[in-house]
Amino acid sequence: MVALPMHAPADRHGSTLTDRKDEVRPRRRRWRIWHKLATIGIAFTALLAGATYLLLDANSRRIELTANELRGLEYLRPLTTLLPDLATHKKYTRQVGAAVRPAADLVPLRERINSGYAALAEVDARLNGDLRTTDADLNASALPATQAQNWRTVQSGTYDKGNADAAHAMLIGDVRTLIGYVGATSNLVLDPELGTYHLADAMVVCSPELVIRISRLGNTVDDLLTSGEVALPDRTKVAGDVAMLMRHADVLQDSLFTAFRASGTTADGRAMRDQLAPQLRTAYLAVTDLATMTTRDFVEATTVWIDRNAYARAIEGASATMVTLWSAILDQETRMLRIRQDSDTADRAFALTGVLAAFAIAVLLTVWLARRMSTDIGAVARGATSLAKGNLAERVRVRSRDEIGDMATAFNGMAHQLQEMVEEQRLSELHLRREHDFVDAVLDVAGSLIVVFDRGGRIVRFNRACELITGYAFADVVGKPFWDLFLPEEERASCAAYYRDIRPSDLPAVYEHTWIRRDGAKFDVSWSNGAIVDDEGGVTHVISTGIDVTARRAAERDLRDAEARFRQAFDHASIGMCLVGEGAVFLQVNKALCEMLGRTEAELLSLTVADVSHPEDYAVGGAAVAAMKAGSNEPFHGVKRYYHADGRVVWGQVTVSPVRPHDNAPVYLVTQIEDITERREAEARLVHQALHDSLTGLPNRALLMDRLKQALARADRHPVLTAVMFIDLDGFKDINDSLGHDIGDEVLREIGQRISAQVRPADTVARLGGDEFVVLCSDLAGEQSAVEISERLTAAVGKLVVLPGHEVEVEVTASIGIALSDNESLTPEDMLRNADAAMYGAKTQGKNRWEIFDETRRARAVDRVAVASTLRQALRDDRFVLHFQPVIELGTGKAVAVESLVRLREENHGLLPPAAFIQVAEDSGLIVPIGTYVLQEACRQLARWRADGLVPPDFRTAVNLSARQATQPDLARTVGRALTAAGLEPSALALELTETVLMDADTSTLRQFEELREMGVGLGIDDFGTGYSSLSYLKRLPVSIIKVDRSFVAGLVTDPSDREIVTAVIRLGQALGLTTIAEGVEDAEQFAMLQELGCDQAQGYLLGRPRAQPPVLSINGSR
């Protein structure tokens, strides 16, 4: 395409036609188009801006907002009856299923619900466009049509009880969702006026929530009463439901009171208040009465006794009053919005009158100005239309001397130039067309492939031969890069880069390349490329001529492939191959066999098969080879060992096949040898790993039990003694926790070596995991031999462990349990279990010692198992109870706290004290759930006492924490949940731990204690003075209480040493700002002396024994 000049033709003197006309005409000030348009715009804007803003921006939006809210109210009206009816249907369905209500009661209710869904469908059909109830923003299950379908499914009664409840809950939730959605899309909850906004909030949010919660509370209580089993969690749940019910009732009341205050300045607002206030009072009292009845007769009652009929009437009454109030709120909201709509409509009528007057003036002015410009603009437009239709002789004449006149002059000049350029272009195109036809004829008759590319590799020409071979028509490929059509994807980027940087020096070029046809078939082409260069020496086009050489190249490739296969079949086999002749000499060997045996080809050809075979495997395959020589064609398969040049053994998977001439006599054997050495070694390693500990290399439990089984079998046949010694390392956990697992692993390896060094080579030393080792000794002379071995083991393990490279020395000891076979019919499991029990006895006796298992220990182990079983059953049956011992403030004589102590209620033994089961609970891990129960029950009991006024608001409770509880990672969260569930502040709880627990606490446990202290929970040291804590360590611990041990208080009056210790502890507590509590106060002299020494608080039998009743609040009452 030729670019056209856009300036007017110049005369011979260089001036344009417009310039000449301007020189002839007299110049005067012209009225420009923008002057005219500015006049119209200013007049129109000045008159309409204010009126349009007032009418459309303020008034119309307000009216439309009110209208949309009224549409929302109309949409919500059927929902206000549908929601309580669905809740009632859920209750009736449950009662019909329980046979406490006749099925006939459902008929009128279902008819009413069907009518409600029909009304909802009718209003949705009219208003869904305005309220967007069919948009994707609304949950699909909440769509009115979907709700109606779900209702019909529920009505059909195909659900069982659990699914029916879930289906009803879904229906109620969908109605609730639709109410909230319509409240938002209709702008009810966004109303700009405070009064109607709070009315809408009460109607859309609070009222439906209260209706649902009343129904849900009734169903929950009814289910619990029907089940006949009301547990503490059930009461807690119902208490939470009551609290949420009253919270929403308070929110509803606050919203309506705010609406009353906001609208109370007008007569309409006062009328609204007079209508709603009585109904609000009635509904709020009904809900309050229901909550009071539920709390009194169900949540806080010692024994749940509630009149179900009276409770059902209370539920129905509260629901009915709420539905009545809800409907009244809807009516009042409608009335208030219609009053506002009427007022806004009147304002709009007044504003429209002014706007219409201003608009009339603007129209008249605009018409006058438009007629002045329309004539000239129409002339220019007609000229442009004629020019567009091809009339290049068209010229425009106008009278105006403004911009329209300039535009007409420029148009005439452009038409003149365009007429000249079109004629020149027509002649050029005719010449090019003739040349193009000649070139096409030449290219199409050529038998070779001819393609012309531009500098970007895009196809410009594509002859007939190319079309026939590639399957593409020229129209399909023109303008496209040839590599996108004919080259594999991996070659396209490099080809594009070549054409992007192509230079004349790169051409001509001759090469062969593979192209891809349209049908996906590939073909080889021998190409010859030449370049077309422009005046500046740059390549503009590349002309490529090619010949299809596919058939020739395929034949050459087939020949080369056949030769390569025959040549490489032997030399490049992945496994060793050889040809063996008479006398087992090597005739030919491949590279793989040379590498496998570590010899050169020349070396192997000078040897026989026997020279490189293992002596024990000379005969392997001999019979098969003999059979082959006798005429058998059956190949031989086997495993054989060979010698590597460096002397090591190489395992080989051998296959031998005969090759014989026509006379049926074998000439040579083709042998394949696969190196399977690594596989054999891997199998051996797997066997070792399966039976040995990966850390120490010692036998593991599986190998130990196998050897123990064999030893016991021998003991049954021969009168020999077998001993199993179960070793557990004392103090290893501290090393592992403090110094890390790397150090712990080094210690375990060292201890394993020490144990192995103290026993006979025939004995077995195994590691079971962690810090547990087992020694199996067979054929012992007697019990004393087992004792002597145990003595050597304790001495060896107890030596200081020095770890090179870590600059640390550690010390561990061993607790050893010995089990003897004694020719009894014991299984390996019995032996290991007996040794474990004896080891446990050694630990309880002080560690770093050995114990021999006997029947008494077996009985104690059985007792521990029985106690653990009883504890698990007690947790399931809720048979743990708390007794509370008061803590007295010595200065005032009043009880300020209690210590919560757990007891186990046993059917045959009454209440068991902690000493009977705590140790077993600690060892078995059951102390964690028991401790959690004690923590929760202690908090709940304190909350009840406070609520009943039995204790003052600042009264506290204390709970003992075991060592295992203290190390739980979720300790702080467990305490927080217990306090939250009981509604207590953190300062109401104190946790008591022994000195040993605090001293052994790791960094994680200390962080838990710090978090508890930051929460406000008190931490105390129980039995202070009996442990090993240092004063510097005590200063850094997050404790606020220390309790003087009862052993010191017992000798306070009679023993000067005990008195000094108690005095020192009290002074220490005062210096550190800690509360000091004396335990075990049993007589008045101890009490008086503690007062004299300045002790803060005390507890003991003198001040009150532990009991289940609330504590006595003064010392006088307790004494």
Order of strands, edge to edge, in the sheet holding 772-780? 764-769, 772-780, 721-730, 813-820, 850-852
DSSP string, 345-407: HHHHHHHHHHHHHHHHHHHHHHHHHHHHHHHHHHHHHHHHHHHHTT-TT--------SHHHHH
Residue 34: the pLDDT is 52
Shared domain for 702 and 837, answered yes or no, is yes
Helix (H, G, I), strand (E, B) or coil at 451: strand
Lowest-confidence segment of 377-391, 688-702, 706-720, 799-813 by average pLDDT: 377-391
Residues near 364 by beta carbon (within 8 Å), at least 6 away in sequence: none
Shared domain for 921 and 951, answered yes or no, is yes
Residue 1016: the pLDDT is 93
Residue 767, in any domain of the structure? yes
* pLDDT confidence bin for 13, thresholds 50/70/90: very low
Domain extent at residue 342: 58-354
**For the segment 1010-1054, what is each residue's pLDDT rounded down to a tens digit?**
999 999 999 998 877 665 555 655 666 788 899 998 989 999 999
> How far apart are the C-alpha atoms of 617 and 631, rounded to whole Å?
24
**For the segment 152-179, what is each residue's pLDDT rounded down to a tens digit?**
888 887 666 667 778 888 888 888 888 8
Average pLDDT over residues 734-758: 88
Question: Under a CB-based contact definition with an 8 Å cutoff, are residues 195 and 336 in contact?
Answer: yes
Label residues 765-781 b or e (16+ Cβ within 10 Å = b).
Answer: bbbbeebbbbbbbbebe
Residue 567, in any domain of the structure? no
* pLDDT confidence bin for 1119, thresholds 50/70/90: very low
Dihedral over Cα of 685, 691, 694, 697: its sign? negative
Shared domain for 1080 and 1051, answered yes or no, is yes
Residue 15: the pLDDT is 42
**For the segment 875-890, what is each residue's pLDDT rounded down to a tens digit?**
888 889 999 999 999 9
> How far apart are the C-alpha atoms of 823 and 825, rounded to whole Å?
7
> How far apart are the C-alpha atoms of 292 and 946, rounded to whole Å?
18
Shared domain for 134 and 244, answered yes or no, is yes
> How far apart are the C-alpha atoms of 636 and 626, rounded to whole Å?
11
Q: What is the mean pLDDT of the chain?
A: 82
CA 477 from chain centre, in angstroms, equals 52
Shared domain for 456 and 330, answered yes or no, is no
Residue 954: the pLDDT is 92
**Over pLDDT 90: what percentage of the chain?**
24
**For the segment 891-901, what is each residue's pLDDT rounded down to a tens digit?**
999 999 999 99
Label residues 581-604 b or e (16+ Cβ within 10 Å = b).
Answer: eeeebbebbbebbbebbebeeebb
> How far apart are the C-alpha atoms of 1048 and 1023, rounded to whole Å?
10
Comparing 147 with 889, which gets the higher pLDDT? 889
**For the segment 332-371, what is each residue's pLDDT rounded down to a tens digit?**
888 888 888 888 788 777 777 767 776 777 667 666 666 6
Shared domain for 212 and 231, answered yes or no, is yes
**For the segment 577-612, what is each residue's pLDDT rounded down to a tens digit?**
998 888 888 989 999 999 999 999 999 999 998 898
Shared domain for 136 and 189, answered yes or no, is yes
Per residue, the 3-state secondary structure of 88-103, as one string, reads HHHHHHHHHHCCCCCH
Residue 14: the pLDDT is 42
Label residues 492-530 b or e (16+ Cβ within 10 Å = b).
Answer: beebbeebeebeeeebeeeeeeebeeeeeeebbbbbebe
**For the segment 232-274, what is each residue's pLDDT rounded down to a tens digit?**
888 889 889 999 999 999 999 998 899 888 887 888 888 888 8
Highest mean pLDDT among 69-83, 486-500, 665-679, 885-899: 885-899
Could you give the dihedral angle defined by the CA atoms of residues 156, 160, 161 and 162, in that order, rounded to the nearest 10 degrees?
Answer: -120
Question: Under a CB-based contact definition with an 8 Å cutoff, are residues 893 and 927 in contact?
Answer: no
Residue 127: the pLDDT is 82
Per residue, the 3-state secondary structure of 834-850, as one string, reads HHHHHHHHHHHCCCCCE
In which residue are the tokens 């309050």 written?
288
Of 649, 681, 713, the one marking the end of a domain is 681
Label residues 741-762 b or e (16+ Cβ within 10 Å = b).
Answer: eebbebbbbbbbebbbebbeee
- Taking 60 as the threshold, does the pLDDT of residue 5 lie above it? no
Helix (H, G, I), strand (E, B) or coil at 770: coil
CATH number, residue 1044 = 3.20.20.450
Residue 136: the pLDDT is 58
CATH number, residue 603 = 3.30.450.20
Phi first, then psi: what are they for 728, rounded to 5°?
Answer: -125, 130
* pLDDT confidence bin for 7, thresholds 50/70/90: very low
> How far apart are the C-alpha atoms of 992 and 971, rounded to whole Å?
14
- Taking 90 as the threshold, does the pLDDT of residue 940 lie above it? yes
Could you give the dihedral angle defined by the CA atoms of residues 482, 483, 484 and 488, in that order, rounded to the nearest 10 degrees?
Answer: 140
Shared domain for 623 and 705, answered yes or no, is no
> How far apart are the C-alpha atoms of 364 and 637, rounded to whole Å?
114
- Taking 80 as the threshold, does the pLDDT of residue 1118 lie above it? no
**For the segment 1057-1093, what is each residue's pLDDT rounded down to a tens digit?**
989 999 999 998 898 889 999 999 999 999 999 999 9
Closest CA to 1103 of 1090, 993, 951: 1090
Shared domain for 206 and 291, answered yes or no, is yes
CATH number, residue 770 = 3.30.70.270
The DSSP secondary-structure symbol of 125 reads: H
In which residue are the tokens 């004449």 written?
397
Residue 1076: the pLDDT is 95
Shared domain for 595 and 516, answered yes or no, is no
* pLDDT confidence bin for 567, thresholds 50/70/90: low
Q: Which residues pair with 813 in a beta bridge?
A: 730
* pLDDT confidence bin for 137, thresholds 50/70/90: low
* pLDDT confidence bin for 979, thresholds 50/70/90: very high
Crossing angle between the packed helical segments 403-445 and 308-388, to the nearest 10 degrees:
90
Residue 1027: the pLDDT is 57
Residue 421, in any domain of the structure? no
Residue 3: the pLDDT is 35
Comparing 264 with 82, which gets the higher pLDDT? 82
Average pLDDT over residues 15-28: 46
Residue 447: the pLDDT is 66
Residue 664: the pLDDT is 60
Residue 436, in any domain of the structure? no
Residue 791, in any domain of the structure? yes
Residues near 296 by beta carbon (within 8 Å), at least 6 away in sequence: none
**Over pLDDT 70: what percentage of the chain?**
87
Lowest-confidence segment of 317-321, 348-352, 498-502, 602-606 by average pLDDT: 348-352
Residue 1090: the pLDDT is 94
Residue 1115: the pLDDT is 58
Shared domain for 187 and 290, answered yes or no, is yes
Residue 24: the pLDDT is 45
**For the segment 988-1016, what is each residue's pLDDT rounded down to a tens digit?**
999 998 877 777 677 788 888 899 999 99
Helix (H, G, I), strand (E, B) or coil at 651: strand
Question: Under a CB-based contact definition with an 8 Å cutoff, are residues 543 and 535 in contact?
Answer: no
Residue 868: the pLDDT is 82
Of 332, 354, 376, the one marking the end of a domain is 354
Report the number of distinct structural domains present in the chain: 5
The beta-strand segments (E) located in 489-548 are: 509-516, 522-533, 539-548
Shared domain for 72 and 109, answered yes or no, is yes
Residue 1023: the pLDDT is 75
Residue 630, in any domain of the structure? yes
Residue 801, in any domain of the structure? yes
Of 808, 823, 853, the one marking the end of a domain is 853
Residue 550, in any domain of the structure? yes
Residue 1084: the pLDDT is 92
